[in-house]
Structure 1
C-alpha cells in the first residue's frame, strides 16, 4: 500500500536551452539540448518519492523507447508502477525552451496520456488505500473526476494541482480536500465558477507565488504566507510539480498543512537551481538541510 498515489501524465521532455524565448514566427538557435523524463504526473510522483513517501503511479505510456525510458526511471526512483498501463499510442512528449533566467515555454503532445481512461477496480482500490491522492490536468478530465470520487469514497485526502488550467465541474471541486493553483489559475477558476473566494468551493487552497513562495488559504482562517529563500534560478521547469509532490509527501507523513507548505517551498527552491524536470527534483535529506538553514 502506497502513502501517496499519483494519477497523471508521463512524458519525456526534450529541452532546448536558448539565449531568449523566440517570438511568434522567429527562429533562434539552441545553445544546448537534453532529453529527460517529465510530465506533471511523473514529476509529482518522483517528487513525492524522493521526499520520502512510498509512492504509486497510475498512468499510461506507449510501447516505444520513451515508454521504456519512463518505466526504467520509475523503477530507479522506487515508485510502484504496477498500475502504469501500456497503450496503443506514443508516449507523451514535451518540447521545452529554457532561457538563461530559467524562464520557459512548453508544448505538450498528450499521446498515451489521453488514453488514461477509465480507471479500473485495481486503480480505485489503490486510491482508497492511500493516505493522499495527487492529481493534475494533463490527463482526461473524466479520469480526474473519477479518481477524486474514489478518494472521497475511500477517505483518502484528495489534492488537485489545477494545471494546465481548465474549467472544472463543481462536483470535482466538492470532492477535493486541497486545491493547488498559481495566481493565474486561481483567477481563472474564480472567473469560471463565479466564486469570490476559492475556499467557498474547496476548504483548503494553496496559491503558489513562484519566487515569492506560497500562500495557504483556509475557510474562515487567516492567510498563511511562506516566503521562498532567495536563490539563483537556472531552470523553473518542474518547480511547481516538485512543490506539489513534496507537499503531498509531507501530508502523507502526518505533517500539519502549514508545515507541509514550508517543506514544499523548500523543495521547489532547490529544484530551480538545477536544469530539467525530474533531474532537478531534490531528495529528502536535501530538503531537510535546506529547512535547517
Structure 2
C-alpha cells in the first residue's frame, strides 16, 4: 500500500439519462435523473482507495449547504477531514447528460475551479495525482524529487503542469493532431516529464515516451450504461501501476484494464453516494 495525495475537485453531479442521442437543434427526452457525488478528483481518489492505497484527498468545498453535505459524505467514506477545507462561493451541480450509448456530455459553470491551487499539503506521499483546472506550478515542482507526480493535462494553453507523467483525452483536443498534443504537453510539464498517455475511448491509447509514440490496445468491454468517470479511473490505474514500479507502457495497460473493470461494474471502484432528490 502506498500513500497517494490526490489534489482535485469534487462535484454534485446531476446525471440525466437520455432516451435519445444529442443532436444539434434537436429535442431530447430523458428517462430519469440521479444526483450523486462526482468530480475528477473524487472519482480518482475513490478508485485509488479501492485499489488498496492510503489516499489523502486534498480538496476545498464551498461553505454552503451543498458543500457541507459533500464534506460530510467525504468523511463518511473514510477520507481524512484534515485535508478537506472550505472556500467561499456556492457549489452548483454539474449537469451530466448520458446518452443511450453511455457517452456523456458534462456541463459546468464557468466559475468551476476558477481559483488557482497555490500549494499542496506538506505531507509525505509516494505519489501525487493532480487534477485541477489551475495549479501554481511551484506547488508541483517542489514535489517532483520526493513523489511520483501524475497530472491531467490542463486545457488552458498558458498553464504549466510540472509532472513525471501527463494524462490527456483525445476528446479534449479534437482539433489538434496527437503530435501537437504531445508537443504542448512537453512544454507544459517541463524537464521532469517521462511520458504522456493520450486516451481515446475504446481506441488504442497513444503513449509518448522518450520521443517515440506507441499505440497500446485497450481491452474490449461490453457497452457501458454510463462512461462518466472512466478517464478518472484510468488515471488512478496509471498512478497505481507507477507507484508499484511499472514502466509507462505497462502502467497504461494496467490503467486500461482498471478502466474496463470500472465500465463493467461502477460500484467496484466508485461508490454511488446520493446527495439529493
Asked if residue 237 in structure 1 is aligned to residue 228 in structure 2, the reply is: yes
Matching residue within 104, 121, 125 for 2:122: 125
Within 1, Cα distance between the matches of 2:178 and 2:65? Answer: 37
Alignment correspondent of 1:88: 88
Alignment correspondent of 1:162: 153
Relative distance call for 1:101 and 1:184 in structure 2 (3 A) is: closer
Alignment correspondent of 2:210: 219
Contact 2:195 2:248 in 1 (8 A): no
Deviations 1:70-117 (A, max 9, x none): 223323443334222112211252101111100111111266744464
* TM-score scaled by length of structure 2: 0.81
Contact 1:21 1:104 in 2 (8 A): no
Aligned residue for 2:264, secondary structure, equals: coil
Within 2, Cα distance between the matches of 1:149 and 1:197? Answer: 15
Relative distance call for 1:110 and 1:51 in structure 2 (3 A) is: farther
Relative distance call for 1:85 and 1:115 in structure 2 (3 A) is: farther
Within 2, Cα distance between the matches of 1:148 and 1:188? Answer: 27
Within 1, Cα distance between the matches of 2:67 and 2:177? Answer: 33
Within 1, Cα distance between the matches of 2:195 and 2:94? Answer: 31
Contact 1:37 1:69 in 2 (8 A): no
Contact 2:12 2:37 in 1 (8 A): yes
Aligned residue for 2:202, secondary structure, equals: helix
Q: What are the ranges of 5 or more consecutive residues in structure 1 without an aligned counterpart?
A: 275-279, 285-293
CA RMSD of aligned residues (A): 3.1
Count how many residue pairs are aligned between Structure 1 and Structure 2.
265
Within 2, Cα distance between the matches of 1:25 and 1:223? Answer: 39
Relative distance call for 1:267 and 1:65 in structure 2 (3 A) is: farther
Deviations 1:160-202 (A, max 9, x none): 1125x22144xx35x2110111234463785589x39959953
Deviation at 1:55, TM superposition (A): 0.8
Say which structure is richer in helix.
1
1:130-169 mapped onto 2 (5 Å cutoff)? 130-138=125-133, 141=134, 143-152=135-144, 154-162=145-153, 165-169=155-159
Contact 1:124 1:150 in 2 (8 A): no
Within 2, Cα distance between the matches of 1:110 and 1:81? Answer: 28
Within 2, Cα distance between the matches of 1:43 and 1:188? Answer: 28
Alignment correspondent of 1:282: 268
Asked if residue 56 in structure 1 is aligned to residue 56 in structure 2, the reply is: yes
Asked if residue 179 in structure 1 is aligned to residue 176 in structure 2, the reply is: no
Contact 2:237 2:254 in 1 (8 A): yes
Relative distance call for 1:36 and 1:260 in structure 2 (3 A) is: same
Q: What are the ranges of 5 or more consecutive residues in structure 2 without an aligned counterpart?
A: 271-277
1:63-102 mapped onto 2 (5 Å cutoff)? 63-102=63-102
Q: Which moved more, 1:195-204 or 1:68-77?
A: 195-204
Deviations 1:95-143 (A, max 9, x none): 0111110011111126674446432xxx3412xx2111111243xx2x2
* TM-score scaled by length of structure 1: 0.77
Relative distance call for 1:111 and 1:79 in structure 2 (3 A) is: farther
Aligned residue for 1:261, secondary structure, equals: helix
Contact 2:150 2:165 in 1 (8 A): yes
Deviations 1:220-252 (A, max 9, x none): 456251322232221111110111112112222
